[in-house]
C-alpha cells in the first residue's frame, strides 16, 4: 500500500514562495527551492502563524510573525525566537504532480 498522496500541481509552485495544502486534513506548506520541492507543517511552532505566508531565503522559511526561521530540509529551528522544530514531509514530483508521503 502506498502512502504517497497527490497534493498539488508542480506548476502551482513558485521559487521562493509557499502554498498551503490540506491532504487528509493536515495543514502542510509546500515550497520550491532550486527546483526541489519541500513540505513542512504549515504552522509555526513559536506562534499561530502560517509558514506558507513567510519569506523563503535559501533553504530557510522565515515565520511571518516573529521572523524566526526553520530549515526546509530538516525542520530544525535556525533563528530565534523559534526553538522547536517543525515536521517535514517526504515530497516527490512525478508527471507534473507533487506527492507527499503522509505515512512517514
Beta strand spans in 28-84 (E): 28-33, 36-41, 55-57, 60-62, 69-71, 77-79
- The mean per-residue pLDDT over the stretch 50-58 comes to 96
By three-state DSSP, how is residue 24 classified?
A: helix
Q: What is the pLDDT of residue 96?
A: 96
> Would you place residue 103 in the very low, low, confident or very high pLDDT band (cuts 50, 70, 90)?
confident
In this structure, is the dihedral angle defined by the CA atoms of residues 84, 89, 20 and 38, taken in order, positive or negative? positive
Percent of residues, the chain, with pLDDT higher than 70? 97
> Would you place residue 104 in the very low, low, confident or very high pLDDT band (cuts 50, 70, 90)?
low
> Would you place residue 48 in the very low, low, confident or very high pLDDT band (cuts 50, 70, 90)?
confident
C-alpha cell, 56:
523563503
Tell me the average pLDDT of the chain. Answer: 94
- pTM value is 0.93
Amino acid at each position: 500500500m502506498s502512502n504517497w498522496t497527490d497534493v498539488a500541481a508542480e506548476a502551482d509552485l513558485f521559487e521562493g514562495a509557499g502554498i498551503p495544502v490540506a491532504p487528509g486534513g493536515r495543514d502542510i506548506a509546500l515550497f520550491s527551492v532550486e527546483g526541489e520541492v519541500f513540505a513542512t507543517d504549515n504552522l509555526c511552532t513559536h506562534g499561530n502563524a502560517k509558514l506558507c505566508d513567510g519569506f523563503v531565503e535559501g533553504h530557510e522559511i522565515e515565520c511571518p510573525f516573529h521572523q524566526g526561521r526553520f530549515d526546509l530540509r530538516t525542520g530544525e529551528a535556525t533563528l530565534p525566537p523559534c526553538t522547536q522544530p517543525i515536521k517535514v514531509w517526504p515530497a516527490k514530483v512525478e508527471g507534473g504532480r507533487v506527492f507527499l508521503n503522509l505515512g512517514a
